[in-house]
Amino acid sequence: MFSSQVFESALSISMFVLRILVPLLSTVVLVRCFVSLKRGRRREEPVVLLEDLASGLSIPVLYWENSIGRSKSCDIILPDSTCSRDHAVLYRRASGWIITDTNSKAGTYVNDKKIKEATQIIPGDVISMGSSRFALRRVSEGTVIQQKKKAKQPKISNKKAPSPTGLLGLTSVIHLLLTVQCCFVGGSFSAMPFIPFAALLAMSWGLYLISRKLLKRVSFEIETFGFLLSGVGIMLLCAEDFSLIYVQLASMFLGLCLFGFLIWFMGDLKRVMKARLWIAAAAIVLFAVNLVIGTEVNGSKNWINLGVASIQPSEFIKIAFIFVGASTLDKLQTAKNLWGFLGFTAICLGALMLMKDFGSACIFFITFIIIAFMRSGSIRTILLVLSGSALGVFLILRFRPYIAERFKAWRHVWEYADTTGYQQTKVLMYAASGGLFGVGLGNGYLKDIFAGDSDLVFGMLCEELGLVMGVVVIVAIAMLILFARNDATRSRSTFYSISACAAAGLLLFQTCLNVFGATDVLPLTGVTLPFISLGGSSMMAVWGLLAFIKASDERTYAVRRKGK
């Protein structure tokens, strides 16, 4: 009797220590991932030079895609009144350097021949725009003039970047610590949680070997990041109900396949730009199918039952949405209006409204704002869209007041604790019960509340693993915007920059809706928490979205040179 009490106390204290260790180590991994990404970033050095044949001075070409013109916003500014504001785009693809005219008045000439379409050029070729004439030179061949005052160079530290192997190793250690906690759920030992642990181990190191050894990719930060968070989610579910994890693990595997496929698919931007129309059409068809044969779950008709499994098409359409919205620089400079994308957005939002999936509608809307701004840079357009939609929301609430009823409990959840505030009060009650370090995996009660492991999962995370871990997880998702911004000018195309920023913004906004909705900071809308929530479609889509951020890292498509 006495020894069993001692054992219980010792076990309890060890579990408590593990619960303190997990967020600590996770923070280390996240910070090191970010540092590694920062260190791996290329310095802002010219890739090639444009030699001005009149003066003999060279203009550095800094980016993978460069707009050329009279406008101050161009990457290469021509102080030449005979040039158009946005004259041409000089960009690099796998085949080499390409120049394309972007509807300039005077036209663009390569070796004195007017070009009609994208034209490949090699060092030595002469490009004429208006009265300016340039020759393409290698960096070693010319003297660089500074276009503007010396751009501040990020300090490059001599310290070595964190080793990708070490970071993934530490991630596996975190998973192991969670697995051990899972083994002692209910006070007795069970080895079953090592099954999902082994699956996580196989998937993460499998992808690592393929990516680093087979494909010779240098970086692995984004993947490590995704594995860390997915593992936390899977262990949380494993402690709740072992039978849930098979679908979740399978979805994660499919998500990884989607991740790999999308990175391959985005390797050829010509292919992507051609496929965009088909992707848009497929998305609309999917929405239509959903509306016709979809099943209604908890008031939202956003599920399709496929017999063996149910899928939530709107999760996958998020990926399609970003494909349709993002664009390469040459396309941005020639087709400046947003009408096509605006129309597609309207169809998506309309379909989601018909499904009564307001949370997803908000997510699509915010993603639209991000993409629209990154494409146009026009604050006026954004304000116009925002005021238009505010009017729309006002009209909806004016004529359909029962929609507002759904949000009546917001900021008054304790008054509606038996009705519309029920879920939020349970989240607050149980999240607070966990304190900073939680009551332990599997010891929570929020999992017994409806949607406890999906819409309310942040509460479950806080209850079982503690507020600190909850904050680490959501701050990690927020850090994706830093990852995306880090590569915004370094990526191989504006397509990658825009899609990465859109994906990061989407994931962060979805996190805000989930976390703040469940904790009554915002009205409850019922969306999933990326990586953590139970839900196969969500898990797959999140890995798909990560592919955008991965693709924007220019190293993804670089082949490691031998000997380096």
Partner 1 sequence: MKTTGWRSLILYIIGAGFLAGLLFFICSYFIQGGSWAIRPSNAHITNDGQLAYSGEITDRDGNLLSYSRDGVQQYNDNALIRKATLHVVGDPNGYISTGTQYAFRTQLSGFNPITGVVSPFGNAITGSNIRLTVSAEMSAAALQALNGKKGAVAVYNYNTGEVLCMVSSPTFDPLNIPADIETNSNYEGVYLNHALSSAYTPGSIFKIITAAAAIETIPDLDSRTFYCSGSTVINGEKITCDGVHGTISFQNGLASSCNVVFGELAVELGRDTMTKYAEQLGCNTNFYLDGNPNKMSAYHVEEADDNALAWSGIGQYTDTVNPYHMMILMGAVANGGTPVNPYMIQSVTNSFGLQTKTGKASNGRQMLQPSTAQRLQELMRYTVSNYYGDGMFPGLQAAAKTGTAEVGDDKIPTGWVIGYSQREDLPLAFAVVVEEGNYGRNSAGVVANTVLQKAAALYT
Residue with tokens 């379909």: 351
β-pair type (119-121, 113-114): unpaired
**Interface with partner 1 includes 317 (CB under 8 A)?**
no
Q: Counting contacts by CB under 8 A, is residue 45 touching partner 1?
A: no
Helix (H) or strand (E) holding 444: none
Q: Which stretch binds partner 1 (CB under 8 A): 33-41, 130-138, 237-245, 487-495?
A: 487-495
The answer to the question of residue 407 lying near partner 1 (CB under 8 A) is: no
- Quickly count helices (H) and strands (E) in the chain: 17, 14
End-to-end Cα separation, the chain, in angstroms? 63
Would strands 132-137 and 88-93 be described as parallel, antiparallel, or unpaired? unpaired
Least distance (Å) between residue 297 CB and partner 1? 26
Q: Is residue 485 within the footprint of partner 1 (CB under 8 A)?
A: yes
Q: Contacting partner 1 (CB under 8 A), which of 310, 334, 381, 489?
A: 489
**Does residue 63 touch partner 1 according to CB under 8 A?**
yes
Output DSSP code: residue 144. Answer: B
In this chain, which of 167, 370, 385, 542 binds partner 1, going by CB under 8 A?
370
Would you say 291 or 471 has its CB closer to partner 1? 471
Q: Name which of 325 and 466 has its Cβ closer to partner 1.
A: 466
Residue 451 · residue 297 · CB < 8 Å: no
Q: Tokens 């017999």, residue?
A: 307
User: Should residue 452 be labelled a site residue for partner 1 when binding is judged by CB under 8 A?
Assistant: no
Stretch that binds partner 1, among 124-132, 211-219, 251-259, 370-378 (CB under 8 A): 370-378
Q: Which is nearer to partner 1, 355 or 472 (CB)?
A: 472
Instruction: Pick the closer one to partner 1 by CB: 304 or 427.
Output: 427
Per CB under 8 A, which region of 52-60, 65-73, 307-315, 556-564 contacts partner 1? 65-73
For partner 1, which residue of 416, 481, 557, 558 counts as binding (CB under 8 A)? 481
Instruction: Indicate which single residue of 248, 302, 497, 556 sits in contact with partner 1 (rule: CB under 8 A).
Output: 497
Nearer to partner 1 by Cβ, of 233 and 438: the residue is: 438
Q: How many CB atoms lie within 10 A of CB 255?
A: 26
Q: Which residues pair with 284 in a beta bridge?
A: none
Piece of 228-236, 262-270, 464-472, 527-535 that binds partner 1 (CB under 8 A): 464-472
Stretch of 122-130, 284-292, 385-393, 468-476 contacting partner 1, by CB under 8 A: 468-476
**Is 74 or 167 the residue whose CB approaches partner 1 more closely?**
74
CA separation for the pair 409, 430 (Å, rounded)? 19
Which listed range, 48-56, 167-175, 346-354, 500-508, lies at the site for partner 1 (CB under 8 A)?
Answer: 500-508
Q: What are phi and psi of 531, to 5 degrees?
A: 75, -35
Do residues 68 and 90 lie in contact, with contact meaning Cβ atoms separated by under 8 Å? yes
Is residue 272 close enough to count as binding partner 1 by CB under 8 A? no
Collapsed DSSP state (helix, strand, coil) of residue 406: helix
508 binds partner 1 (CB under 8 A): yes
- Residue 377 found at the interface with partner 1 (CB under 8 A): yes
Q: Determine if 64 is a binding residue for partner 1 (CB under 8 A).
A: yes
Q: Which of 164, 359, 438, 526 binds partner 1 (CB under 8 A)?
A: 438
Binding partner 1 (rule: CB under 8 A), the pick from 430, 531, 543, 548 is 430
Residue with tokens 């946005």: 86
Binding mask 73-102 for partner 1 (x = CB under 8 A): x-x---------------------------
Interstrand relation of 76-77 and 88-93 (parallel, antiparallel or unpaired):
unpaired
Phi, psi of 243 (to 5 degrees): -70, -15
Q: Is position 11 an interface residue for partner 1 (rule: CB under 8 A)?
A: yes
Q: Does 205 bind partner 1 (CB under 8 A)?
A: no
The pair phi, psi for residue 116, each rounded to 5°, is -105, -30
Under the binding rule (CB under 8 A), the answer on residue 521 touching partner 1 is yes
Does residue number 433 form part of the binding site for partner 1 (CB under 8 A)? Answer: yes
Q: What is the nearest approach in angstroms of partner 1 to the Cβ of residue 110?
A: 21
Report the phi/psi class of residue 41: left, alpha or beta, with left for phi > 0 and alpha for psi in -120 to 50. Answer: beta
Q: If binding is defined by CB under 8 A, does position 8 make contact with partner 1? A: yes
Q: Give dist(CA 394, CA 381) in Å, integer.
A: 20
- The full DSSP string for 198-215 is HHHHHHHHHHHHIIIIIS
Concatenated DSSP letters of 90-101: EEEETTEEEEEE
Q: Which stretch binds partner 1 (CB under 8 A): 166-174, 299-307, 387-395, 427-435?
A: 427-435
Rounded to whole angstroms, the Cα distance separating 324 from 305 reads 26
User: Applying CB under 8 A, does 435 fall inside the site for partner 1?
Assistant: yes
Residue 462: CB atoms within 10 Å: 31
Closest CA to 29 of 223, 167, 174, 227: 167
* 439/444 Cα distance (integer angstroms): 7
CA atoms of 368 and 375, how far apart (whole Å): 10
Residue 474 makes contact with partner 1 by CB under 8 A: yes
387 binds partner 1 (CB under 8 A): no
> Who's near 337: CB < 8 A, 6+ residues apart?
none
Question: What 3-state class would DSSP assign to 311?
Answer: strand
User: Does residue 115 belong to the site contacting partner 1 (CB under 8 A)?
Assistant: no
Residue from 207, 232, 338, 504 binding partner 1 (CB under 8 A): 504
Taking the least distance from each CB to partner 1, the nearer of 55 and 146 is 146
Q: Binding of partner 1 at residue 180 (CB under 8 A)?
A: no
Burial 68-102 (b: 16+ CB within 10 A, else e): bbbeeebbbbbeeeebbbbbbbbbbbeeebbbbbb
Residues at the contact surface with partner 1, assessed by CB under 8 A: 8-9, 11-13, 16, 62-67, 73, 75, 329, 366, 369-370, 373-374, 377, 425, 428-440, 443, 445, 466-467, 471, 474-475, 478, 481, 484-485, 488-489, 494, 497-498, 501, 504-505, 508-509, 511-512, 515-516, 519, 521-522
